[in-house]
Structure 1
Amino acid sequence: MMQKILLFFISLFLLSISQAQEIQLSENAEISVLTVGPGPSLNDAFGHNAFRIKDPKNGIDVTYGYGEYDFDAPNFYLKFAQGKLNYLISKADFNRFYQVYRYYNRSIKEQTLNLSEAEKQKLYDYLVNNYKPENRAYLYDFFFDNCATKIKDVARVTLNNNIQFNLPKDYKEATFRTMIQKNLNRNSWGSLGIDVALGSVIDKQATAEDHMFLPKNIYAFFENATIKNGEEPLVKNSQIIYTKREVPVTNSFFTSPLFILGLVGLFIMYITYKDYKNTTQSKWLDVTLFSLTGIIGIFILLLWFATDHKGTHQNYNLLWAFALNILAIGQLFKKKVSGWFIKYIKLLVILLCLLTLHWIIGVQVFAIGLIPLLIALGIRYLFLVKHYSTDQ
């Protein structure tokens, strides 16, 4: 008897959950797209997007967004590094969503979508179904499957691919790298890390739709989009929910890559000048340079060939961070180097020249903070060629 009662209550509970998931939105329900402005850290620098479903009659005011980390995933950090980590769709009460971003002083804009009752229901049902445990995870891609592109894709599904995205008034053609760097300080460590880790594939011209990988561009394109064969706007109303407070910017040039690496470059050139004047070689410096450039080169190769990150392919930072430098370190400890090692150093000089050419013709844009280091490396390699050639 107790088992039957328990079974009854379990069935009742499951039925209530099922009904809760199949809520019929009222005629007064509204669905909007929220655009959150950038934050101070690198992972917040590009903003965020989410859907807001508001239906006072049903007591609903929730947000759905894409891009939540699944910290419970096995081998989280390894999968993250390999580009194989699934991200999750998140759900939160709007008030909590608002308070969080207000606390972190990030602007919030809202665009109410011009949808019929059936389209609102379809979009809401899609999100509810997407939020189920078996559907929540998706393979994240920074450029083509992120918190912004998901908003565009879900809206298209809702409107049966009948959205026409028109170019915003201030639209300018750009590469992926240009769009990324517009959101960053070019002379920052985050910017330098991106320019070193990401390859020439992000220096190609992005299509108009590709621009929507950035949350702020979702706002711009949605603002100009039309539906029903261009007869009606996609957005019927836009408003600013929260305006970011102006705070002093504390960026210091003296802690920037250009300044720090400038000092490193000057130090390398100073040691090289002393070695040249005294006809000596500071082997500790060469071992350090060959080790660091070799390790960075191996890291770049791993990002290119051992991960699923699309943006790390065809990375010509390998022209200065040459992975084979690790294998050549042994020559630096010899009293007399092999003949091939002199040719190898000449190759390193040629590679730096090729890097400069790639930069000039636009094959790949490199970090400006690297300029002093690259100049210093070129001078050091030329010195080593002369030094070792004299000893032969």
Structure 2
Amino acid sequence: MRQQLTLLLSTFLILFSAGVHAQKEVNFADPKISLITVGPGKNLYDKFGHTGIRLQDGDLDIVFNYGSYDFDTPNFYLKFAQGQMMYKVTTNYFESFLNFYKGENRWVKEQVLLLSPEEKSKMMDFLRENIKPENSRYRYDFFYDNCATKPRDVIFKGRESLVTIDESYASDGLTFRQLIQQNVHWNTWGSMGMDLGIGAVTDRVATAWEYQFLPEYVSQAVAGAQMTVDGREVPLAGASRMLFENEPVEDGANFLLSPLLLFILIGGLIIWVTWKDTSNGRRSRWLDISIMGLTGIVGVILMLLWFATEHSTTANNYNLLWASPLSLIALWPLTKMQPPRWCRRYIAFLLLMGVLMIIHWLTGVQEFALSLIPLFLALGYRYLYLFLVLPK
């Protein structure tokens, strides 16, 4: 998946343009074309699976892979952070492709497309053009342009009038966020990071077409699709065939290393210090400075993800209701024993934002990370204490 095979690509282009390979005529009028779906892996970026298009014709057996990127791209990490990362389509020998995922213990299945010779020819013409260097790159988008939606478009786009998709796989009406969480345990750092970074745009119910940003739903759409041929309905693809069955591995979260445990400890510390402050009639300024500094920094990061990047998933992020960049302004005043009166009004503002966050959560505007609940409760307790003791 990750390695571009330059020699194969050159040979493939020659085959397309000249129609010969080793003095043997190659007939591209009736190749075998399949949808390949790969199961989830253990790493966060592998949790959602992968999709490819397999081409078999004689000795030629390759996979078109739309999930490649180049680490040598200038300003790679900056472009990735800004949502300007360019992905590209590459080709891999199928044997190498399959062996790679076997090594990662990820299942692989195949669905042979039952296209007419004319439809296969059209698809091959498109792939021939798409693989050219000037056409192979595309701007990656997690929901709308990724390694699953690109092969999906190759199969379905331009055939809408001939193909009917059974959309029953989307009958549960899940949001984008819920679809993501199907593949990632909620009490993991990856899940918490995504819930923190993605905004309310992901809490909209996805359409059946939009479900297909995940490879498994592309597979289900292809499995249930029907083509109109000579006035009758025929399947778009044959039955799924497992090429490799993986060994099941339990994918549970380690509670001792989980974000929930950490935030239970942090929340417990905040509540304990606040209770001690109440009992002793004092204010632990180091705690207030820590809270304002850390939540303020998180807020700045979320603001940058919303307004300074092109990621479609990070807009309208209401985590800013509890992680306000404005808290950085209150840092210095709260170091004083008697901070200015506006600090109390700002604490009242933070309490109001907390109420609004709860309303957003209960009404389904945006879901928040469950592992952060202990922190939210502790912040509410601390802010209420500060509102009562700061100068009026």
The TM-score, its normalising length taken from structure 2, stands at 0.91
State the match for 1:151 in structure 2: 151
Q: Which of 6, 10, 15 pairs up with 1:20?
A: 15
Q: Give me the whole-angstrom Cα distance separating, in 2, the residues matched to 1:304 and 1:17.
A: 42
| One-letter code aligned to 1:136 | S
Give the unaligned 5+ runs of structure 1: 1-14
State the match for 2:209 in structure 1: 209
Deviation at 1:70, TM superposition (A): 2.1
Deviation at 1:237, TM superposition (A): 3.4
State the match for 2:110 in structure 1: 110
Aligned to 1:312, the other structure's residue is in SS state: coil
Q: Give me the whole-angstrom Cα distance separating, in 2, the residues matched to 1:93 and 1:331.
A: 63
> 1:10-66: CA deviations, max 9, x gaps?
xxxxx988642334535662100000000011100000000000112xx11000011
Aligned to 1:65, the other structure's residue is in SS state: strand
State the match for 2:138 in structure 1: 138
State the match for 2:23 in structure 1: none
Deviation at 1:371, TM superposition (A): 0.1
State the match for 1:237 in structure 2: 239
| One-letter code aligned to 1:208 | A
Q: Give me the whole-angstrom Cα distance separating, in 2, the residues matched to 1:182 and 1:157.
A: 27
Q: Is the 8 A contact 1:76 1:85 kept in 2?
A: yes
Aligned to 2:55, the other structure's residue is in SS state: strand
State the match for 2:83 in structure 1: 83
State the match for 1:271 in structure 2: 273
Deviation at 1:122, TM superposition (A): 2.0
| One-letter code aligned to 2:313 | G
Q: Is the 8 A contact 1:200 1:313 kept in 2?
A: yes
Q: Is the 8 A contact 2:198 2:317 kept in 1?
A: yes
Q: How many residues align?
A: 374
Q: Give me the whole-angstrom Cα distance separating, in 1, the residues matched to 2:179 and 2:249.
A: 24
Query: Structure 1 residues 171 and 283 mapped into 2: Cα distance closer, same or farther (>3 Å)?
Result: same
> 1:277-321: CA deviations, max 9, x gaps?
111111111111101100000000000000001110100000000
Q: Give me the whole-angstrom Cα distance separating, in 1, the residues matched to 2:86 and 2:380.
A: 42
> 1:326-367: CA deviations, max 9, x gaps?
111111122321111101001101111110111011000000
State the match for 2:331 in structure 1: 329
Deviation at 1:100, TM superposition (A): 0.2
Query: Structure 1 residues 17 and 333 mapped into 2: Cα distance closer, same or farther (>3 Å)?
Result: closer
Q: Give me the whole-angstrom Cα distance separating, in 1, the residues matched to 2:93 and 2:358.
A: 52
Deviation at 1:127, TM superposition (A): 1.6
Q: Which of 358, 374, 381 pairs up with 1:372?
A: 374
Q: Give me the whole-angstrom Cα distance separating, in 1, the residues matched to 2:65 and 2:12.
A: 22
Q: Is the 8 A contact 2:33 2:55 kept in 1?
A: yes
Work out the percentage of aligned pairs sharing the same amino acid.
41
User: Does residue 35 of the first structure (1) align with residue 42 of the second (2)?
Assistant: no
Query: Structure 1 residues 16 and 137 mapped into 2: Cα distance closer, same or farther (>3 Å)?
Result: closer
Deviation at 1:151, TM superposition (A): 1.4
State the match for 2:353 in structure 1: 351
Q: Which of 280, 283, 295 pairs up with 1:281?
A: 283
Q: Give me the whole-angstrom Cα distance separating, in 2, the residues matched to 1:61 and 1:301.
A: 47
User: Does residue 74 of the first structure (1) align with residue 74 of the second (2)?
Assistant: yes
Q: Give me the whole-angstrom Cα distance separating, in 2, the residues matched to 1:181 and 1:249.
A: 13
Greater helix proportion: 1
Q: Which of 323, 339, 342 pairs up with 1:340?
A: 342
State the match for 1:5 in structure 2: none
User: Does residue 295 of the first structure (1) align with residue 297 of the second (2)?
Assistant: yes
| One-letter code aligned to 1:238 | S
Q: Is the 8 A contact 1:25 1:121 kept in 2?
A: no
Q: Give me the whole-angstrom Cα distance separating, in 1, the residues matched to 2:201 and 2:249.
A: 36
| One-letter code aligned to 2:352 | I
Larger mean CA deviation between 126-135 and 82-91 belongs to 126-135
Give the unaligned 5+ runs of structure 2: 1-9, 20-25
Q: Is the 8 A contact 2:66 2:88 kept in 1?
A: yes
Deviation at 1:167, TM superposition (A): 1.5
The TM-score, its normalising length taken from structure 1, stands at 0.91
State the match for 2:221 in structure 1: 221
Q: Give me the whole-angstrom Cα distance separating, in 2, the residues matched to 1:162 and 1:148.
A: 21
Q: Which runs of 4 or more aligned residues in structure 1 lie more than 4 Å from their structure 2 counterparts after TM superposition?
A: 15-18
